[in-house]
């Protein structure tokens, strides 16, 4: 079996009476890209902070590279590159200074950093912004700088908490491209996200989290296979009529989900199902056939959508 | 030369006392402070140096003929020489307070600079010590600068006066560690104003411009509960050469302040960032 870099069993975090993470089990294997998918408040960030050795677990077992974060915080953090959800770049410093001082925090030598910084500027496509202050960077540039900064210590594991939240589509694609390259270089990625497309793009394997617990685990394709059908037919009849229509449509397919704005019908062949809908005399205002996604897996598991 | 990796550097400290909280690298926090100093904060630093000199010129030379000589421990002392040590002590306080309150609050809450630092192999003790050391370095340079002005003016009659420089550093240390501890409990910029409520009266009533003996006994006792009165007595004792064991009481006051401040700062940083 491949080497497990992060190993969690019954991992639990409580804040007073509130249980943020409720006994989760998972392993992250060297070189893979592992995702925690779930809505806001599912406990993903709390789990990340425990793995990042900046938050003590309440109970359960957790080892990172065979070390207990409660005992070896600095040693574990030396292996990790952390990209937090909220940017915490040093706004008093320039781009280059941010990379330099972060390396110094790890105790790295000036000589090493000199070369490393050039490499990272090129990786993050920020060569032309080297002397710019952080404030003047766009959201996408700030994120790339945060990732570059996390790589300064050449970490084995890169942890990204909601890496593309708040970015425009183009900036997201640039970022994904950079993350693919890292994966090719053998860096293990641990990613939290509430975007199902991001999880599908980036993760080899993921766990679906809700309310502090893991609902399912597997590769994106496997999860879709296990918890959804191949295709989805989305129908809109107008907000008042959706609920009423759902009951009549139920006879046409195995599973139906009724959302406030639309009805989702799960099937192996969407076009064929749409034909049958029309034949039965139903006339939706709009219809759309698409492939099943992790969004559908989440809906199946929790009865809710990922983004409320 | 072998270039060490982040992991090797962190593992070299395994088994050392306090390794969870301290990585032995508070100097890199000072390095950061130095980089920001070079690019932006030097103006604030200069103003911290100029302020006591302005007070000295305005109050000292403005009032000296009106006030005449003072009598301290049976010796006549010129008014300017009387207030100069108080201004030195006060500027050590102000510099340390600025560094450890506004500056720290901003990094803690607005910029989240400490979150970034503590995600690395640094510990909270590195951060606390590094920030405080920087405040001390500043206190030291203020003291040095101020002495460079007042010694040539003949305002430091005693050779003991040279010890006013380390005394100013001790005072800065006390205020910096205590200020940082207090700041770490503050939740908004408005709450930070609480610190100013103490600072101005302390400056006005701690015997800067006239001896404490003008006040009734009970008020003197209250004033002596606060640190600046001890700071002024200590520095004044040294520059005027009134050296006695009593000065050690003032030193002890600041040592206690430092210990309490460091204890709560580290505890609080741990609670805030390592929950």
Same domain, yes or no: A255 and A189: no
Q: How many residue pairs bridge chain A and chain B with CB atoms within 8 Å of each other?
A: 112
Same domain, yes or no: A145 and A248: no
What is the span of the domain harbouring residue A257? 229-291
- pLDDT tens digit string along A75-112? 999 999 999 988 899 998 999 999 999 999 999 999 99
CB contact under 8 A, A155 and B6: yes
Q: What's the CATH code of the domain at A259?
A: 3.30.70
Residue length of chain A: 308
The number of domains in chain A is 2
Same domain, yes or no: A143 and A92: yes
- pTM comes to 0.86
Same domain, yes or no: A25 and A129: yes
Domain final position from A199, A219, A239: A219
Q: Give which of A191, A193, A203, A190 is closest to A42, Cα–Cα.
A: A193
Same domain, yes or no: A259 and A192: no
| Euclidean distance between CA atoms A26 and A217, whole angstroms | 9
Contact B100, B173 (CB under 8 A): no
CB contact under 8 A, B112 and A155: no
Same domain, yes or no: A63 and A185: yes
Q: Is residue B236 less than 8 Å (CB to CB) from chain A?
A: no
Measured between CA atoms, how close is A197 to chain B, in angstroms?
28
Nearest residue, CB atoms, A74 vs list B13, B31, B111? B13
> Would A236 be classed as within a structural domain?
yes
Same domain, yes or no: A185 and A276: no
Same domain, yes or no: A208 and A239: no
Q: What's the CATH code of the domain at A137?
A: 3.40.50.300
Same domain, yes or no: A212 and A250: no
Same domain, yes or no: A9 and A131: yes
Same domain, yes or no: A71 and A113: yes
Token output for B136: 């001390």
Nearest chain B alpha carbon to A101:
B32
Domain final position from A186, A219, A252: A219
Same domain, yes or no: A155 and A257: no
Per-residue pLDDT of chain B (275 residues; tens, 9 = 90+): 566 888 888 888 888 877 888 888 999 999 999 998 887 667 766 777 888 899 999 988 888 888 888 888 778 889 999 999 999 999 899 888 888 888 888 888 877 899 899 999 998 889 888 988 888 888 888 889 899 999 999 888 888 999 999 999 999 999 999 999 999 888 888 888 888 888 889 999 998 888 898 899 999 999 999 999 999 999 999 999 888 898 999 999 999 999 999 889 888 887 777 66
A253-263 CB burial, b ≥16 within 10 A, e <16: beebbeeeebb
CB contact under 8 A, A84 and B275: no
> Would A302 be classed as within a structural domain?
no
> Would A52 be classed as within a structural domain?
yes
């Amino acid at each position: 079996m491949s080497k497990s870099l992060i190993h969690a069993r019954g991992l639990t975090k409580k804040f007073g009476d509130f249980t943020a993470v409720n006994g989760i089990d998972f392993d992250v294997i060297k070189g893979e890209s592992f995702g925690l998918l779930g809505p806001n408040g599912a406990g993903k960030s709390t789990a990340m902070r425990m793995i990042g050795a900046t938050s003590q677990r309440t109970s359960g077992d957790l080892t990172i590279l065979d070390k207990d974060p409660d005992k070896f915080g600095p040693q574990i953090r030396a292996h990790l590159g952390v990209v937090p959800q909220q940017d915490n770049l040093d706004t008093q410093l320039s781009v280059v200074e941010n990379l330099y001082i972060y390396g110094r925090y790890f105790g790295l030598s000036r000589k090493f950093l000199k070369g490393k910084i050039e490499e990272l500027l090129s990786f993050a496509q920020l060569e032309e912004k080297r002397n710019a202050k952080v404030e003047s960077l766009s959201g996408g540039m700030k994120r790339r700088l945060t990732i570059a900064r996390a790589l300064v210590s050449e970490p084995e594991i890169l942890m990204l908490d909601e890496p593309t939240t708040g970015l425009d589509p183009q900036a997201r694609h640039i970022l994904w491209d950079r993350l693919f390259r890292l994966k090719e270089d053998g860096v293990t990625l641990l990613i939290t996200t509430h975007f199902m497309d991001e999880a599908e793009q980036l993760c080899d394997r993921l766990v679906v989290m809700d309310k502090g617990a893991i609902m399912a685990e597997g590769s994106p394709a496997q999860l879709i296979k296990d918890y959804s059908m191949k295709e989805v037919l989305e129908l809109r009849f107008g907000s008042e009529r959706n609920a009423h229509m759902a009951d009549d449509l139920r006879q046409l397919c195995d599973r139906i989900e009724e959302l406030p704005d639309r009805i989702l019908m799960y099937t192996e062949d969407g076009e064929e199902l749409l034909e049958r809908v029309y034949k039965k005399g139903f006339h939706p205002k709009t219809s759309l056939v698409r492939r099943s996604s992790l969004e559908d897996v989440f809906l199946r598991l929790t009865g809710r959508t990922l983004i409320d | 030369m072998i270039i060490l990796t982040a992991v090797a550097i962190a593992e070299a400290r395994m088994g050392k006392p306090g390794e969870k909280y301290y990585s032995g690298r508070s100097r890199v926090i000072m390095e950061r402070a130095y980089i920001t100093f070079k690019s932006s904060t030097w103006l604030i630093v200069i103003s911290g140096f100029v302020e006591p000199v302005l007070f000295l010129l305005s109050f000292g030379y403005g009032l000296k003929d009106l006030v005449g000589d003072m009598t301290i421990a049976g010796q006549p002392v010129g008014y300017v020489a009387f207030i100069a040590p108080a201004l030195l002590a006060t500027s050590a306080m102000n510099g340390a307070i600025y560094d450890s309150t506004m500056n720290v609050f901003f990094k803690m809450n607005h910029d989240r600079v400490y979150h970034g630092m503590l995600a690395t192999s640094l510990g909270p003790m590195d951060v606390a010590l590094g920030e405080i050391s920087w405040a001390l370095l500043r206190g030291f340079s203020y003291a040095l600068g101020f002495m460079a002005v007042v010694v040539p003016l003949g305002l430091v009659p005693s050779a003991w006066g040279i010890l006013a420089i380390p005394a100013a550093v001790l005072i800065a240390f006390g205020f910096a560690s205590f200020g940082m501890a207090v700041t770490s409990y503050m939740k908004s910029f408005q709450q930070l104003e609480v610190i100013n409520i103490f600072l101005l009266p302390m400056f006005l009533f701690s015997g800067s411009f006239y001896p404490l003996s003008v006040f009734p006994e009970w008020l003197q006792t209250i004033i002596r509960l606060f640190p600046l009165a001890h700071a002024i007595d200590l520095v004044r004792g040294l520059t005027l050469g009134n050296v006695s064991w009593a000065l050690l009481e003032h030193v002890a006051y600041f040592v206690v302040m430092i210990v309490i401040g460091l204890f709560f700062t580290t505890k609080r940083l741990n609670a805030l960032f390592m929950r």
